[in-house]
């Protein structure tokens, strides 16, 4: 066995149906006195209900979280933090809301309680991506890692399939990339394979019109593992290209990850053969990019970059941006090769 380094991050995880009822107890463990509950506008009712359950620990609700964590939204939230003497944040929602909580923690170092309602996995990572003037940048710092996470699968029961499917594929993307990341190690690889298997098994049932509570729980479990993988190892071309596309063209975060994972896996196929074998095994298929493509077709409304409304000139811009300050990747990040990959995704063809 090759030498490796594994660094576990410190987060408290509370998992199980109905455990959102323990939010107040968890805040008290963090020493919070006045917590700001965060959400997107669509989940404001959930945020208000949660704030009511917190009693005197609730310092208010801010419901303007947005995709890609715009800096101007964080600035608005910081005004509320100051005016209401907030000393902790509670993020209920998906990656947009949890991203806002991280942005506040980055500026204040206050504790976070994250309550995810999707499968984004951001709650388990010390990574934050923020967007300003159309450019999305990321950084890694333990200041943004939530101290406590409550996973309550019941909170995902009302998540519609058109959100649940891409969100689960977003989590799969974290785990696939962890298998060939620069800091990969046997522990993370084990978690990544378990994550891919749990999520891939759940995805078809997430797309059903009938609620499958066990599939919802498995998906959230897989998303937790995926987030832990992303937190432990670096990112590569998949996250770089999705950050570029999402931040530059304001594309839906989960949907663009869902679309691109078959193509980024194919980009690395010949340079990360062991990772592709591990992914294929977890998916129960012979070819990893092909298996990911089939799951993408099943779960994503947008089957191509063209479906997002992009043009071929947008692909040129994205390729140029993607090769600037590239993340580590097993295959060299070259503009022409990236442009070719984007063309395949634009046309929605099966990756070969």
CATH code for the domain in which residue 179 is found: 1.20.1090.10
Query: For residue 124, is pLDDT > 80?
Result: yes
**Whole-number pLDDT of residue 346:** 98
**Whole-number pLDDT of residue 138:** 86
**pLDDT tens string 78-109:** 999 999 999 999 999 999 999 999 999 999 99
> Where is pLDDT greater, at 178 or 120?
178
Which CATH number characterizes residue 96's domain? 3.40.50.1970
243 and 137 in a common domain: no
259 and 133 in a common domain: no
Asked if residue 237 belongs to a domain, the reply is: yes
101 and 219 in a common domain: no
Of 139, 156, 173, which closes a domain? 156
Owning domain of residue 332: 161-347
Asked if residue 1 belongs to a domain, the reply is: no
Mean pLDDT across 162-185: 95
Asked if residue 5 belongs to a domain, the reply is: no
169 and 150 in a common domain: no
214 and 84 in a common domain: no
Asked if residue 304 belongs to a domain, the reply is: yes
Query: To the nearest whole percent, how much of the chain has pLDDT over 70?
Result: 100
Q: With 0.85 as the threshold, say if the pTM is over it.
A: yes
**Whole-number pLDDT of residue 135:** 84
101 and 198 in a common domain: no
321 and 295 in a common domain: yes
177 and 68 in a common domain: no
Query: For residue 7, is pLDDT > 90?
Result: no
Mean pLDDT across 141-155: 96
**Whole-number pLDDT of residue 269:** 96
User: Which residue, among 341, 305, 347, 310, has the nearest Cα to 323 in the 3D structure?
Assistant: 341
Asked if residue 92 belongs to a domain, the reply is: yes
150 and 168 in a common domain: no
Asked if residue 3 belongs to a domain, the reply is: no
Query: For residue 284, is pLDDT > 80?
Result: yes
Of 126, 156, 186, which closes a domain? 156
**Whole-number pLDDT of residue 279:** 98
Of 156, 186, 219, which closes a domain? 156
205 and 105 in a common domain: no
Asked if residue 7 belongs to a domain, the reply is: no
Q: How confident is the model at residue 330 (pLDDT cuts 50, 70, 90)?
A: very high
Asked if residue 4 belongs to a domain, the reply is: no
140 and 218 in a common domain: no
Mean pLDDT across 160-164: 93
Total domains present in the chain: 2
304 and 192 in a common domain: yes
8 A C-beta contact, residue 74 and residue 104: yes
């Amino acid at each position: 066995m090759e030498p490796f380094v594994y660094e576990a991050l410190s987060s408290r995880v509370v998992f199980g149906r109905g455990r959102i009822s323990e939010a107040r107890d968890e805040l008290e463990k963090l020493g919070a006195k006045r917590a700001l509950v965060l959400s997107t506008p669509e989940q404001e009712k959930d945020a208000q209900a949660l704030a009511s359950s917190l009693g005197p620990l609730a310092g208010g609700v801010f419901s303007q979280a947005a995709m890609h964590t715009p800096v101007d939204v964080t600035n608005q939230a910081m005004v509320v933090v100051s005016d209401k003497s907030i000393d902790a944040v509670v993020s209920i929602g998906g990656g947009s809301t949890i991203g806002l909580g991280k942005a506040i923690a980055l500026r204040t170092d206050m504790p976070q309680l994250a309550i995810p309602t999707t499968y984004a996995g951001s709650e388990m990572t010390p990574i934050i991506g923020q967007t300003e003037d159309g450019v999305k940048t990321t950084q890694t710092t333990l200041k943004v890692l939530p101290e406590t996470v409550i996973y309550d699968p019941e909170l995902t029961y009302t998540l519609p399939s058109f959100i649940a499917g891409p969100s689960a594929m977003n989590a799969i993307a974290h785990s696939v990339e962890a298998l060939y990341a620069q800091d990969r190690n046997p522990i993370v690889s084990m978690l990544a394979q378990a994550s891919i298997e749990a999520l891939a098994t759940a995805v078809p049932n997430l797309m059903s019109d009938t609620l499958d509570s066990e599939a919802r729980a498995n998906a959230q479990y897989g998303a937790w593992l995926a987030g832990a993988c992303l937190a432990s190892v670096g990112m590569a071309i998949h996250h770089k290209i999705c950050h570029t596309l999402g931040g530059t063209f304001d594309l839906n975060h989960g949907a663009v990850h869902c679309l691109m994972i078959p193509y980024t896996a194919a980009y690395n196929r010949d340079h990360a053969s062991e990772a592709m074998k591990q992914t294929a095994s977890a998916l129960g298929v012979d070819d990893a990019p092909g298996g990911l493509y089939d799951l993408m077709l099943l779960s994503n409304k947008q089957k191509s970059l063209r479906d997002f409304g992009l043009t071929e000139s947008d692909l040129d811009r994205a390729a140029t941006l993607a090769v600037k300050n590239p993340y580590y990747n097993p295959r060299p990040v070259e503009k022409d090769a990236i442009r070719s990959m984007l063309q395949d995704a634009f046309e929605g063809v099966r990756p070969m």
